Copies of this chain bind each other. A is one copy, B any other.
């Protein structure tokens, strides 16, 4: 078959006008077409099943609408609330979305950024992916600057400290508040499932939690901060190691909810040794509504985050990069019962 798509010339010919007029009629941006002609062009396009060749349009215009979202991985268990938020927000705005899963290396990230530049995409957003003291950060910044120099807009999500518009969560503060709350509830012996040692988000949450403990006068030895993958499965495994070590454990803080749910499952599966250990997470993902016991966590207003990211992206680029910090708050649920009311429940693990 391969009966090639109709082109603008075909529409123009059929409508009895020039391609220029046809183009103008099709693109409401440009005014100045007699109604009669506009109608004929639209009719011709309809009859021919014409669709403008977006690639050609992009070449001619030099730029194309739409956002490119770079993420590190697409989880198949719990929805990433940020990804879902951005996907739905762009849909609402009628913006084409390009979802790119980049490897975790800096090179992969730079490649993805360059590819977006090659696509002449209007806005570029990235979630996660930044590392602490990563030598590659410079390369990434350079790539992003090239992208902006080329006329694109960059919005970083949760990666404060870079010279671009940013939507950041108050990770450290939220974790600190969570730690204080747990201590108040009567917990003393903690462990942290910290994710990647050098992931920025993970580090901030871990450090915030440690600070909160310190302020409340609770110590935490380094061997109780378990690093590893940032996933539910890794957390399940890590919690297992923790339990097998036989240390005294009142509560586990996992740096995100998916990990916390994994830990919770391990404790459940572990039998008696897992009983009585509390768990807390971070994010307050929607799935928590269906989980028992309810998971104590730090709530973040995800819809606001996504909306804010889009807002920044669509506004004029300011002289100085803007940083919107979104604050969360602790939500206490049944996974961290009040121990002060059950003083006898202490010491159920060894």
Q: Is the CB of A91 within 8 A of B101?
A: yes
Task: Answer whether residue A52 sits at the interface, using C-beta atoms and an 8 A cutoff.
Answer: yes
Q: What would 11 A/B residue contacts be, using CB atoms closer than 8 Å?
A: A2-B149, A2-B150, A52-B118, A55-B64, A75-B84, A76-B81, A76-B286, A96-B100, A97-B100, A264-B290, A265-B289
Task: Answer whether residue A232 sits at the interface, using C-beta atoms and an 8 A cutoff.
Answer: yes
On A, residues with C-beta under 8 Å from B are 1-5, 49, 51-56, 58-59, 64, 73-81, 83-85, 87-88, 91, 96-101, 114-115, 117-120, 146, 148-151, 232, 261-262, 264-265, 268, 285-287, 289-292, 302
> Other than the known A59-B59, A74-B88, what 12 A-B pairs have Cβ atoms closer than 8 Å?
A1-B149, A2-B149, A2-B151, A52-B118, A55-B56, A56-B59, A75-B79, A76-B79, A77-B287, A77-B289, A232-B290, A265-B290
Contact of A55 among B75, B77, B96, B119 (CB under 8 A): B119
Residues on B with C-beta less than 8 A from A149 are 1-3
Q: Is the CB of B268 within 8 A of A51?
A: no
Q: A96-B98, A264-B290, A290-B262 are in contact. Are A146 and B74 (CB under 8 A)?
A: no
Pick the 4 closest A-B CB pairs, nearest first.
Answer: A55-B58, A76-B84, A77-B286, A91-B101
Contact of A87 among B84, B101, B291 (CB under 8 A): B101
A292 to B286, CA, bound (A): 16
A264 to B151, CA, bound (A): 50
Q: Which residue of B lies closest to A49 (CB)?
A: B146
Q: Smallest distance from the beta carbon of A214 to chain B beta carbons, Å?
A: 31
Residues on B with C-beta less than 8 A from A75 are 79, 84
Residues on B with C-beta less than 8 A from A76 are 79, 81, 84-85, 88, 286, 302
